[in-house]
């Protein structure tokens, strides 16, 4: 049976480190880290994510500002809000909750964020920095996955990592991080996706699988090499009469099958999700340190 990787516990440790970082910053006479969260419309999942992010900020002593606007806001209106946050010295991180309504060009909004405040790491400047190996903000979910691998002592060097999914938010950046030199990296990386042929066989060759394809229970036990490490990024709603809400959340991995074969596996919920939030806080703390002229506290 696989070891269950407890993302909630690891993220709690990171949050404690962040609290200490805030104390140090404030003791030095600096402003606490400030995060602005922009929410457009009333998508229930987005509302829940935004709530949990602002709550997490309060818990570690950050200043946070939630800016809610109706789905009818214009692109220019949203661009102005982003600009106000860029100009605000109390704000070190700007997060625009995705997805945005159809009539707004998300890429245009992302590119309006000052790259120095882009704590989601979605601005092309930060994506480019990751690509060429320069320091910059790394998207929170991929950064959280690497942190999870490092803190569980999972060897990555020389291992074959198969990334399922090629999004800008998870697939592409996690592939870059796993392939880069150094701790939590040095993997041989395969990116597989909806058009990949023989995806089962490719998964069977993986020492590490990162499942981020957005299909409920896609990764079956038969696709997993015995002892492999399985990181499940999926959050899918499936019907469940036994639950109060009528649904429950499952990952992109068939957990019940996978845990019989894998060496280690992340659960959903309580796996990658909490790590995403912890790394958002860490990116925001790093941004605040940089704006105070302090060096990065990352190894």
Residue 121 engages ligand BQF in binding (rule: CB under 6 A): no
Nearest approach in angstroms of CB 274 to ligand BQF is 5
Q: Of 136-155, which residues contact ligand BQF (CB under 6 A)?
A: none
Nearest approach in angstroms of CB 49 to ligand BQF is 3
Residue 274 engages ligand BQF in binding (rule: CB under 6 A): yes
Catalytic residue flag (residue 53)? yes
Q: Which of 19, 124, 269, 292 binds ligand BQF (CB under 6 A)?
A: 269
Burial of 45 (0-12, 13-18, 19+ CB in 10 A): exposed
Residue 265 engages ligand BQF in binding (rule: CB under 6 A): no
Nearest approach in angstroms of CB 75 to ligand BQF is 20
Reported in sequence order, the residue ranges of the chain that DSSP labels E, i.e. its strands, are 3-4, 34-40, 63-69, 93-96, 160-164, 188-192, 208-211, 229-232, 236-239, 247-250, 264-265
Residue 156 engages ligand BQF in binding (rule: CB under 6 A): no
Contacting range for ligand BQF; rule: CB under 6 A; set: 22-30, 64-72, 253-261, 264-272: 264-272
Residue 276 engages ligand BQF in binding (rule: CB under 6 A): yes
Residue 277 engages ligand BQF in binding (rule: CB under 6 A): yes
State which residue, 86 or 167, has the beta carbon closest to ligand BQF: 167
Residues 231, 233, 238, 244, CA torsion sign: positive
Q: Per residue in 213-226, is it b (16+ CB within 10 Å) or e — as a string?
A: bbebbbbeeebbbe
Nearest approach in angstroms of CB 172 to ligand BQF is 16
Contacting range for ligand BQF; rule: CB under 6 A; set: 100-108, 145-153, 188-196, 266-274: 266-274
Question: What x-and-dash track marks residues 33-62 binding ligand BQF by CB under 6 A?
Answer: ----------------x--x----------
Nearest approach in angstroms of CB 186 to ligand BQF is 27
Catalytic residue flag (residue 120)? yes
Residue 298's H or E segment, with its range, is none
State which residue, 113 or 268, has the beta carbon closest to ligand BQF: 268
Whether the CB-CB separation of 223 and 211 falls below 8 Å is answered with no
Residues 83, 89, 93, 99, CA torsion sign: negative
Radius of gyration for the alpha carbons in the chain, expressed in angstroms and rounded: 19
Chain centroid offset of residue 44 CA = 19
Q: Is 143 helix (H, G, I), strand (E, B) or coil?
A: helix
CB closest to ligand BQF, residue no: 273
Q: Is 176 helix (H, G, I), strand (E, B) or coil?
A: helix
Active-site positions?
A: 53, 97, 120
């Amino acid at each position: 049976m696989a070891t269950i990787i407890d993302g909630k516990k690891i993220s709690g440790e990171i949050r404690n480190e962040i609290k200490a970082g805030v104390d140090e910053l404030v003791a030095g006479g600096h402003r606490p880290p400030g995060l602005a969260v922009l929410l457009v419309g009333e998508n229930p999942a987005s509302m829940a994510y935004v709530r949990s992010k602002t709550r997490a900020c309060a818990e570690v002593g950050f200043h946070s500002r939630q800016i809610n606007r109706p789905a009818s806001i214009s692109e220019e209106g949203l661009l102005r809000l982003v600009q106000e946050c860029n100009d605000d010295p109390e704000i070190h991180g700007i997060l625009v909750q995705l997805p945005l309504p159809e009539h707004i060009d998300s890429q245009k909004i992302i590119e309006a964020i000052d790259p120095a405040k882009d704590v989601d790491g979605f601005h092309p400047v930060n994506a480019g920095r990751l690509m060429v190996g320069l320091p910059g903000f790394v998207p929170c979910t991929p950064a959280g996955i690497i942190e999870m691998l490092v803190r569980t002592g999972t060897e990555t060097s020389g291992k074959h990592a198969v990334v399922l999914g090629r999004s800008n938010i998870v697939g592409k950046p996690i592939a870059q991080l796993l392939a880069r030199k150094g701790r939590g990296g040095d993997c041989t990386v395969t990116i597989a996706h909806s058009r990949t042929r023989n995806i089962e066989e490719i998964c069977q060759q993986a020492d590490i699988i990162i499942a981020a394809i957005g299909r409920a229970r896609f990764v079956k036990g038969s696709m997993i090499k015995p002892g492999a490490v399985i990181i499940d990024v999926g959050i899918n709603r499936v019907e469940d009469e036994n639950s109060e809400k009528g649904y429950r959340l499952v990952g992109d991995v068939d957990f019940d099958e996978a845990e019989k074969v894998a060496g280690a596996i992340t659960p959903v919920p309580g796996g990658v999700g909490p790590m995403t939030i912890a790394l958002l806080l860490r990116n925001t703390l790093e941004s605040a340190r940089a704006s105070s002229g302090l060096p990065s506290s990352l190894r």
